[in-house]
Amino acid sequence: MTTRMLSIPYSEDLLLSLKKSPGEFEEEARLLLAVKLYEMNRVSTGAAAQLAGISRVTFMYELARFGLSPMGQEPGELVEDYANA
């Protein structure tokens, strides 16, 4: 499989306003892109994790920070499904 690189220019001012180092910002940007693609049902948890540069299990835990479920359902929907089972 061919690996491609995406380059996004950003200023030092952005880093200062976010109070992030270049490494921290780039890591967070990769995660945010992966989370958004997953949220839009464009990629699986495995593909998103690979894009973010983290393990699939770690990515699945990270989804909770953004109010997302790795099961494709909201927590309330899971409770409702369980109650109706």
Nearest to 41 by CA among 70, 65, 77: 70
* CA–CA distance, 68 with 75 (Å, rounded to integer): 9
The answer to the question of residue 67 being in a domain is: yes
22 occurs within a structural domain: yes
**Do residues 27 and 53 lie in contact, with contact meaning Cβ atoms separated by under 8 Å?**
yes
How many domains would you assign to the chain?
Answer: 1
8-12, 49-53, 62-66, 74-78: least confident range: 74-78
> Does residue 59 lie in a domain region?
yes
Structural domain contains residue 44: yes
**pLDDT tens-digit series, residues 24-65:** 999 999 999 999 999 999 999 999 999 999 999 999 999 999
pTM over 0.85: no
Query: Residue 42: inside a domain, yes or no?
Result: yes
- Is 45 contained in some domain? yes
CA dist 24 and 15 (Å) reads 9
Report yes or no on 77 lying in a domain. yes
| Residue 56 domain boundaries | 18-84
Confidence of residue 71 (pLDDT cuts 50, 70, 90): confident
